[in-house]
Structure 1
Amino acid sequence: MTVMGKEQGFYQVFEVFSRRTPEAPLQHQFSLLAPNEELALVMAQENFMRREPVADLWVVKRDYIRRINEEEKVALKRLDNKDYRLTRGYGDLKKRWRKYEQNVFDEKEILSWKGEIRR
């Protein structure tokens, strides 16, 4: 196995993921070299859990993680047109609201009319 241009031989590459709380998303923490899954888990616990509180720890052999290829990336570009989700059209909302508030009658002005009919 080759990792970053180096031959690993006996060791395998594992990726370590963790959660700080049970509700938190998994976050990638680091990669490590170990001869098997059991030692990889022990090494991850020793290197990571002693530093931070952890609710969940996942150790996954890198070979088991599938990455999308270039052909599949092309398919993602078709799904990328999500401009309708952006809120660019509301950038001037504060300015428009201020203008609207200036045209609204306040209580003091309404009470000053005293029976006058305004058109």
Structure 2
Amino acid sequence: MAGKEQGFYQVFEVFSRKAPDAPMQHQFSLLAPNEEIALVMAQENFMRREPVADLWVVKRDYIRRMSEDEKAALKRLDNKDYRLTRGYGDLKKRWRKYEQQALDEKEILSWKGEIQR
């Protein structure tokens, strides 16, 4: 079915969001003769299960996919790992270790006598 019509029926993709500020999510695909019937089928099959703030029904042929060349362009050309946040997962542990090694006020004041000698 990959984007082709199946005789009388066409493939539609159904998207919905649960709240007005929620992201749109793909729910399922369905076969229908036209957009109006596809919308009715989506409402009947989906909206009776859970509340929906918005429902989109899109003919699969209208959705453009990236070509393999376009996908290849998405790969990083240079090393920008420093921009990724995964390196900060142990920051709390490292900070605690640093604090334990830091000098406290009492220790610094205890040096007073040794420095004057």
Q: Same fold (TM over 0.5)?
A: yes
What's the Cα RMSD here? 2.8
Identity of aligned residues (%): 79
- Residue 66 of structure 1 aligns with an amino acid whose one-letter code is R
Once residues 82 and 49 of structure 1 are traced to their aligned partners in structure 2, the CA distance between those partners, rounded to angstroms, is 43
1:77 aligned counterpart, secondary structure: coil
The corresponding residue for 2:35 is 37
Gaps of 5+ in 2: none
Once residues 7 and 22 of structure 1 are traced to their aligned partners in structure 2, the CA distance between those partners, rounded to angstroms, is 32
Once the two structures are TM-superposed, the CA of residue 95 in structure 1 deviates from its matched residue by: 3.7
Once residues 51 and 77 of structure 1 are traced to their aligned partners in structure 2, the CA distance between those partners, rounded to angstroms, is 39
The corresponding residue for 1:87 is 85
The corresponding residue for 1:117 is 112
Once residues 8 and 80 of structure 1 are traced to their aligned partners in structure 2, the CA distance between those partners, rounded to angstroms, is 44
**Count of aligned positions:** 111
The corresponding residue for 1:100 is 98
Deviations 1:30-52 (A, max 9, x none): 00000000000000000000101
- Structure 2 length as normaliser, TM-score? 0.77
Determine if contact 2:17/2:55 at 8 Å carries over to the other structure: yes
Once the two structures are TM-superposed, the CA of residue 58 in structure 1 deviates from its matched residue by: 0.2
Gaps of 5+ in 1: none
- Residue 60 of structure 2 aligns with an amino acid whose one-letter code is R
